[in-house]
Structure 1
């Protein structure tokens, strides 16, 4: 679902108003020599506003979180100003620069993938985020199949096997087993795709020390691969 730009910008604007820094007036009859400033809004209102704002920022600027500086809300205000500009001018900029290709948000990936990757992703640990997503997909697949004796490639080869189920070896079907070439192709492709995800993405990310951080766009592509696999498993039916 696309973001409601008008609502989002309103929330961002309200947050900026609440967190604006100002010097409170001196008490009556007193002169206070201080450079200390306060936020205009009360803490409860700011926290309530931040609840929505942080989710907007996660959608618009997924890597906005960093080290806190100066005021508690400084990082938020800086990100809010950037996000508001992005919401306001994104369509114009893409049109002017010729960038009209579809855009993918990490938050739109399958919930198994994004829930596992989100915290690491927001801290800029993209390679670890992909690994966490791969582990989550594996665990959820084990849960659905009721298997703990096999994992990753062996697990997917078993559950997507074209063979009939055996005791202790359930099968997941991506379509009705009608004996067709299409059925055999789909099951074989799912098993091969899963092997590629774990052998080609998960294993190198997990086992190679000293690898440089993945570029964000490459990490997103890898998350997409695990999202495809997660959706297949999630929607597959257990063979009877």
Structure 2
């Protein structure tokens, strides 16, 4: 009891002395103070502590959460991430009508800033292609998307049992969600 009270408020537990005649009354009072502290913790935290935003999995891109939800609910985080990655890959292949190469190469080719060539259409963000920011986004998407498949999908698919925490797996799903949003935002550019 003393340890719990001291954890709630340093020194609160050391004020309890059960050897004294009024020890039981003092202990009861300190416990009531401890319960009051516990009751008010959420209010204190919400008013004084930083308010971190929460990432809601069901608000991730539908391609990602739709592919992952059932497996996630079953506690299979690794399989949920893998299913989401496979869904995103299938959507990229479908959008570009390309089923001839793996997802990493597909991302590197499809987001490339070079002109589309026969059999190799490109994904293009809207906007002025002469602006450095457009090129930065296009190039960045190429490497983020390819990296997501290399570092997330491949680990989920080829490592026997990954001990991802819930937070880590959720972050991987969020990364795949970003890739999915970019793919959906882009237009397909065919060769001229």
Alpha-carbon distance in structure 2 between the residues aligned to 1:104 and 1:93: 22
* Equivalent pair of 2:124/2:189 in contact (CA under 8 Å): yes
Alpha-carbon distance in structure 2 between the residues aligned to 1:139 and 1:93: 47
Tell me if 1:184 matches 2:99. Answer: no
Q: Aligned residue for 1:151?
A: 102
Alpha-carbon distance in structure 1 between the residues aligned to 2:185 and 2:45: 35
Tell me if 1:215 matches 2:165. Answer: yes
Q: Aligned residue for 1:236?
A: 186
Q: Aligned residue for 1:226?
A: 176
Alpha-carbon distance in structure 2 between the residues aligned to 1:93 and 1:228: 34
- Structure 1 unaligned spans of 5+: 1-90
* Equivalent pair of 2:129/2:135 in contact (CA under 8 Å): no
Q: How much is the aligned-residue C-alpha RMSD, in angstroms?
A: 2.0
Tell me if 1:109 matches 2:85. Answer: no
Q: Select the structure that is richer in helix.
A: 2
Tell me if 1:127 matches 2:78. Answer: yes
* Equivalent pair of 2:111/2:141 in contact (CA under 8 Å): yes
Q: TM-score, normalised by structure 2?
A: 0.72
* Equivalent pair of 2:103/2:149 in contact (CA under 8 Å): yes
* Equivalent pair of 1:145/1:170 in contact (CA under 8 Å): yes
Shift of 1:123: 0.8
The structure with higher relative contact order (CA 8 Å, sep 6+) is 2
Shift of 1:143: 0.5
Shift of 1:186: 1.4
* Pick aligned residue for 1:160 from 101, 105, 111: 111
In the superposition, relative to structure 1, how do residues 209 and 158 fare at CA in structure 2: closer, same or farther (>3 Å)?
A: same
Question: How do residues 1-240 of structure 1 correspond to structure 2 at under 5 angstroms?
Answer: 92=43, 95=46, 98=49, 100-176=51-127, 178-212=129-163, 214-239=164-189
Larger Rg: 2
- Structure 2 unaligned spans of 5+: 1-41
Q: Number of aligned pairs?
A: 150
Q: TM-score, normalised by structure 1?
A: 0.58
